[in-house]
Amino acid sequence: MRTNTDREPAANKEVEQGVLGAMLLKNDVIEVVADALGYPDFYYSQHQIIFKAIIAVFRTGQQVDAMTVANHLKDGGLLGNAGGLTYLNDLMETTPGSRNVDAYARIIREDALLRRVAVYGQRVLDMSYDRSQTLEDVMDRAERELRSLQSEQGAPCGDDLTSIIGDQYEDYERWMTSLPPVVPTGLQSLDDMLIGNGLSRSDLIVLAARPSLGKTALALSIARNVAIAEQAVVFFSIEMSKPAITNRLIAMHGRFNAKSIIRRKVAKGDFHRLQQVVGSLMGLPLQVRDRSDMTVARMRERVRQEQAKRPVGLVVIDHLHAMAGGPEDSNECQRIAVIVKEAKALAKDMNVPVLLLCQLNRAVESRSNKRPVLSDLRATGAIEEVADVVLFLYSDAHYGKDGGKLYREEDTYTEVICAKQRNGTTGMIRLQFSPLCVRFDEPEGAAADG
């Protein structure tokens, strides 16, 4: 039985020689090969040196042949490492020619990827023996490295317009026959303000506000609407428990006073309606996870499990600053930056919109104009940089004339401010907020204010 150390890495010396010889013989193939390969794709070190020299000479505009490449290598003190002029001449004499150089380049590329897969496998093996890492961390890192390898497979260095448009058209065809590219929020004016008329798949949407302005209420309203439209939702609640989230959903769905649901003091006349509301909620494809130590790696695994059963339409994370994760030796800004990038990767890899709730810093409270701006995002500029969409909440009813907070029980209007939209314009809309049943709705005649 052969051990791992007995196995030879994937490589073909004759094929590598054939490609280099073709490049020395016929300069027309140099760009073709350079688009398909990089020097690390060659296994033999002398071939890496020769390939880099050929590209360097080619970029100067000189004719590429054994002599010009040898002179370049000699100037750099590498001619001996490359095998000398004799080896360069041998490459030109023994090459099968340039006719099949595309096929030879593919073989070299595949061998290089196989070698990287072998390295990947060894890393995964090493990580599995590292008891300082959690299972979720190991699986998340292994998956990220595998995705990186998959993205390299057959990836050319550049594409012409015909190829790009063709791929885009294929995407359009897939959209027509598979999942819609956008998930409606169920709030028409909010959908109208967003570039795709809803939450775009693979987008990271940040919803930020000061405490008690309705972040969780709006997120739950959207989650409920998406679930009613028969798209699965996974709601990660870091601070609120499952019973607390459930009470809010019951109040919201049935327009009950939330206090009466929490205190179990529903009027007798409303009990039958309560039963109907609970029954209808039980049929919705909405999962709530309430672990306080939730990391993006754990979230990814939960979403993957749900997607194995049915397509997921929305992931909600409530909220960013309460999450676990990030490097242990980092400060808060660095930790948040890592988590935000991981949340964006979750959206992209799972092809699902991720609604990430976020706190604003206290500077908002000290200003006369308390409408949030991007610089109010707490802890780090990474949130603004990474997010595809940034939404803020603001309500006049939340603040008194002297700047003190004023809480009301009657319905009010809350502004949803789109401060960033990567592929669209900014704007503002107003939604009706009902504090008693912690629910957002579309007000009569609401529209986006460019």
Active-site residue, from 14, 31, 230, 239: 239
What kind of architecture, by CATH, is found in domain 177-441? 3-Layer(aba) Sandwich (3.40)
The reported pLDDT for the residue numbered 309 is: 81
Q: Domain 4-152 is in which class? A: mainly alpha
Give 162's DSSP letter: H
Give 9's DSSP letter: P
The reported pLDDT for the residue numbered 54 is: 92
Answer yes or no: are the C-beta atoms of 310 and 227 closer than 8 Å.
Answer: no
Stretches where the chain sits below pLDDT 50 are 1-3, 154-159, 174-177, 401-407, 446-450
The reported pLDDT for the residue numbered 3 is: 47
Answer yes or no: are the C-beta atoms of 258 and 247 closer than 8 Å.
Answer: yes
The reported pLDDT for the residue numbered 168 is: 56
Give 439's DSSP letter: E
Neighbour tally for 116: CB within 10 Å: 18
Domain ranges of the chain: 4-152, 177-441
The reported pLDDT for the residue numbered 116 is: 85
**β strands within 84-173, DSSP E:** none
Share of the chain above pLDDT 70, in %: 84
Share of the chain above pLDDT 90, in %: 22
The reported pLDDT for the residue numbered 204 is: 95
Spatial distance between the Cα atoms of 105 and 404, rounded to a whole number of angstroms: 70
Give 35's DSSP letter: H
The reported pLDDT for the residue numbered 382 is: 81
The reported pLDDT for the residue numbered 400 is: 60
- Catalytic site residue 409? no
Strand 204-209 vs strand 389-394: parallel, antiparallel, or unpaired? parallel
Instruction: State pTM to two decimals.
Output: 0.62
Answer yes or no: are the C-beta atoms of 128 and 168 closer than 8 Å.
Answer: no
> Could you tell me which of 53, 4, 37 has the C-alpha nearest to residue 110?
37
Long-range own/partner contacts, residues 242-250 (CB < 8 A, 24 or more apart): 242/288, 242/290, 245/220, 245/288, 245/290, 246/288, 248/216, 248/217, 248/220, 248/438, 249/220, 249/224, 249/281, 249/286, 250/274, 250/277, 250/278, 250/281
